[in-house]
Amino acid sequence: MRVFINGFGRIGRTMLRAHAQGAWPTIEIVGINDIADLELCAHLFEYDSVFGPYAGQVDCVDGALVLDGLAIPMSQTSDISKVDLSGVDVLLECTGKADARDVAERGLRAGAARVLISGPSDAADLTVVLGANDALLKDQLIVSNASCTTNALAPLVRLIDDTWGLQTGWMTTIHCYTGSQPSIDAPRGDMMRSRAAALSMVPTTTSAQSLLNQVLPDIAGRIEAAAVRVPVASVSAVDLSVTLDQKVSLDDVHAVMRAQTGVIGWTDKPLVSTDLRARPESLIVSLPETRVTAGGLVRVFGWYDNEWGFSCRMLDVALRMARA
């Protein structure tokens, strides 16, 4: 299948790095569009402050980004509808600008068969999370891949509810800082989010709560959520505490988590956040952090690389869209 990346920021570049490792051999990246200079795009791809230098060869030749000898044409326009996307199966819309329907439809007008947005968007026909509601994915033209935290949380909530029945719960995402926060104190609308990202822990909201209600409407209202942005550059965590319909033991919870593969992973090692960098799963449950109280409260803690894991889901969902 043929895909095109519109927006070569954190997710666009991370998707290309993940794809270069060969896990999606049937996906061909046929083009990239970004308003930044080609040489700057190539440099930021080759030298990444989080993931380190690219292991292969990166060049710029005749308007193309060349990775290990493979040329990927690059264009520079703020309006993707001006690019010929004829023959593109899925446009990976990664600009963060596709909130309105007319913007999200630009890829379709340019010739792409379908559009997958790398974030929440009211313009989407469906918001999908692999492992939670992907059975709803059919012939929708514009799809949202939700958020990184929703991709981590929703499959876990779905698993817990399907296995034991979920009554209610609270989730805190301990989230690395992002480009939406300033590097020095500067107005950002919200007083706490206006503080320097790398110097403080910042309590804030998360879109995962509303998106969870959207993705899993049968569970809507049963999970409340908040976020704390912390001074690390990558890898975040989900800290979920729930009450269940059934009484469970710690061994019960561990057995169910150990049986998971693919979207949900697990570890029984005493890891810290940097150890989970570039893990492809949506969530990696930390078994040593699991707790079950005498009163039946269950705590599940899991790591997620909010860039790499989410980028892998973008490629997975794009593949599913082309097959639907």
Cβ atoms of 118 and 97 within 8 Å: the answer is no
Cβ neighbours around 218 below 10 Å, total: 9
239 is written with which tokens? 């800290």
Q: How far apart are CA 31 and CA 3, in angstroms?
A: 8
> How many other CB atoms sit within 10 Å of the CB of residue 169?
22
Asked about 41 being catalytic, the answer comes back as no
Distance of alpha carbon 294 from alpha carbon 102, whole angstroms:
53
Tokens linked to 150: 């929703």
Q: What is the CB neighbour count within 10 angstroms for residue 295?
A: 6
- Nearest partner of 321 among 181, 158, 130, 160, judged by Cα: 130
Q: Please identify which of the residues 41, 94, 148, 176 carries the catalytic annotation.
A: 148
Q: What Rg do the C-alpha atoms of the chain give, in angstroms?
A: 20
Q: Which of 225, 243, 236, 228 lies closest to 171 in space, CA to CA? A: 225
Amino acid identity of 110?
A
For Cα atoms 174, 235, 53, give the angle at the middle one, nearest 5 degrees.
155
Q: What is the set of active-site residues?
A: 148
